[in-house]
Amino acid sequence: MKNKPYINRQDVKEYLAKTDPNVLDYIQQCELQIDKLAEIGYQLSKERDLPTLLNLIIVESMRITNSDGGTLYLRSEDDRLAFEIMKTKTLGTDWGGISESPIPDFIYPVKLYLENGEANNHMISAHVGLSGETLNIPDAYENEVFDFSGTKAFDLKNNYRSQSFLCIAMKNHENDIIGVLQLINAADPVTGKIIPFSADMQKLIESLASQAAVAITTVRLIEGLEKLLESFIQLIADAIDEKSPYTGGHCSRVPVLAIMLAEKVNQADSGIFADVNFSKEDMDELRIAAWLHDVGKITTPEYVVDKATKLETIYDRVHELNTRFEVLRRDIEIEYLRGLSQTNDVGERAELEATKIAQLLQLDDDQEFLNVCNTGGEFMAGDKQDRVREIAKRQIILDGKEQDLLSDEWVLNLNISKGTLNDAERNKINDHIVVTIDMLEKLPFPKHLKRVPEFAGGHHETMVGTGYPKGLTKKDMSIQARIMGIADIFEALTASDRPYKKGKTLSEAMRIMGFFKADQHIDADLFDVFLSEGVFQEYADEHLDAKYIDEVDVQKYLDIQPKPVS
CB atoms within 10 A of CB 145: 11
The H-or-E segment that residue 361 falls in is: helix 346-374
User: pLDDT tens across 526-545, in order?
Assistant: 999 999 999 999 999 999 98
Among 96-105, 396-405, 477-486, the minimum mean pLDDT is found in 396-405
| Alpha helices by DSSP H, 244-345 | 250-267, 280-291, 302-305, 318-341
Please check the confidence at residue 6 and state whether its pLDDT lies above 80. Answer: no
Asked whether residue 237 is assigned to any structural domain, the reply reads no
pLDDT-based confidence at residue 337 (cuts at 50, 70, 90) = very high
Domain boundary among 160, 189, 221: 221
Asked whether residue 566 is assigned to any structural domain, the reply reads no
pLDDT-based confidence at residue 123 (cuts at 50, 70, 90) = very high
Among 20-24, 282-286, 295-299, the minimum mean pLDDT is found in 20-24
Please check the confidence at residue 222 and state whether its pLDDT lies above 90. Answer: no
Asked whether residue 229 is assigned to any structural domain, the reply reads no
Backbone angles phi, psi at 248, to 5 degrees: -55, 135
**Region 37-45 average pLDDT:** 67
pTM score: 0.65
Please provide the DSSP assignment of 221-233 as one string. HHHHHHHHHHHHH
Give, in order, the Cα–Cα distances in Å from 111 to each of 80, 126, 154, 271, 412. Answer: 5, 7, 19, 58, 73
CB atoms within 10 A of CB 152: 14
Please check the confidence at residue 246 and state whether its pLDDT lies above 60. Answer: no
Whose CA is closest to 107, among 84, 89, 128, 129?
Answer: 84
Whose CA is closest to 245, among 470, 496, 456?
Answer: 496
Length of the chain: 566
Are residues 195 and 337 part of one domain?
A: no
Are residues 5 and 152 part of one domain?
A: no
**Region 257-265 average pLDDT:** 97
Between 493 and 242, whose confidence is greater? 493
CB atoms within 10 A of CB 531: 23
Measure the CA–CA gap between 63 and 95, rounded to whole angstroms. 17
Among 98-102, 296-300, 394-398, 527-531, the minimum mean pLDDT is found in 296-300
Q: Within its chain, how far is the Cα of 539 from the centroid?
A: 17
Backbone angles phi, psi at 565, to 5 degrees: -75, 125
pLDDT at residue number 503: 74
Helix axes 346-374, 318-341, angle to 10 degrees: 180
**Region 325-342 average pLDDT:** 90
Whether 110 contacts 73, CB under 8 Å: yes
Q: Strands (DSSP E) along 13-61, which ranges?
A: none
Please check the confidence at residue 512 and state whether its pLDDT lies above 90. Answer: yes
User: pLDDT tens across 71-80, in order?
Assistant: 999 999 999 9
Are residues 470 and 381 part of one domain?
A: no
**Region 277-298 average pLDDT:** 91
Are residues 437 and 297 part of one domain?
A: yes
CB atoms within 10 A of CB 324: 18
Are residues 339 and 214 part of one domain?
A: no
pLDDT-based confidence at residue 5 (cuts at 50, 70, 90) = low
Asked whether residue 446 is assigned to any structural domain, the reply reads yes
Task: Establish whether the linkage from the previous residue to 469 is cis, with ω within 30° of 0.
Answer: yes
Residue numbers of the domain that contains 15: 1-46
CATH code, domain with 201: 3.30.450.40
Asked whether residue 309 is assigned to any structural domain, the reply reads no
Amino acid sitting at position 565: V
Are residues 138 and 208 part of one domain?
A: yes
Angle, vertex CA 482, rays to CA 480 and CA 487, nearest 5: 90
Are residues 405 and 346 part of one domain?
A: yes
By DSSP bridging, strand 93-96 and strand 395-398 are: unpaired
CATH code, domain with 489: 1.10.3210.10
User: pLDDT tens across 440-467, in order?
Assistant: 999 888 888 999 999 999 999 999 999 9
Domain count, the chain: 4
Torsion of CA 191, 192, 196, 199, to 10 degrees: 70
Whether 185 contacts 197, CB under 8 Å: no
Are residues 403 and 429 part of one domain?
A: no
Among 285-294, 492-501, 503-512, the minimum mean pLDDT is found in 492-501
Measure the CA–CA gap between 255 and 480, rounded to whole angstroms. 12
Amino acid sitting at position 564: P
Angle, vertex CA 295, rays to CA 290 and CA 298, nearest 5: 155
Give, in order, the Cα–Cα distances in Å from 55 to each of 126, 180, 250. Answer: 21, 14, 41
Please check the confidence at residue 427 and state whether its pLDDT lies above 80. Answer: no
Are residues 532 and 462 part of one domain?
A: yes
**Region 135-140 average pLDDT:** 96
pLDDT at residue number 7: 54
Asked whether residue 232 is assigned to any structural domain, the reply reads no
Please check the confidence at residue 35 and state whether its pLDDT lies above 80. Answer: no
Whose CA is closest to 254, among 299, 284, 287?
Answer: 287
Highest mean pLDDT among 6-15, 194-203, 305-314: 194-203
Are residues 552 and 440 part of one domain?
A: yes
Among 24-28, 98-102, 160-164, 295-299, the minimum mean pLDDT is found in 24-28
Measure the CA–CA gap between 482 and 522, rounded to whole angstroms. 7
Amino acid sitting at position 125: S
Asked whether residue 565 is assigned to any structural domain, the reply reads no
Torsion of CA 481, 452, 460, 509, to 10 degrees: 60
Beta partners for 86? 71, 95
Whose CA is closest to 536, among 519, 517, 518?
Answer: 517
pLDDT-based confidence at residue 566 (cuts at 50, 70, 90) = low
Please provide the DSSP assignment of 432-500 as one string. HHHHHHHHHHTS---GGGTTHHHHHTTTT--TBS-SSSS--BGGGS-HHHHHHHHHHHHHHHH-S--TT
Whose CA is closest to 522, among 497, 554, 557?
Answer: 557
Asked whether residue 363 is assigned to any structural domain, the reply reads yes
pLDDT at residue number 1: 46
Are residues 199 and 68 part of one domain?
A: yes
C-alpha dihedral sign at 517, 523, 529, 534:
negative
Domain boundary among 420, 446, 464: 420
Are residues 167 and 69 part of one domain?
A: yes
pLDDT at residue number 245: 59
pLDDT at residue number 29: 62
Between 297 and 463, whose confidence is greater? 463
Whose CA is closest to 161, among 142, 181, 189?
Answer: 142
Whose CA is closest to 562, among 526, 515, 530?
Answer: 515
Please check the confidence at residue 38 and state whether its pLDDT lies above 70. Answer: no
Beta partners for 166? 136, 183
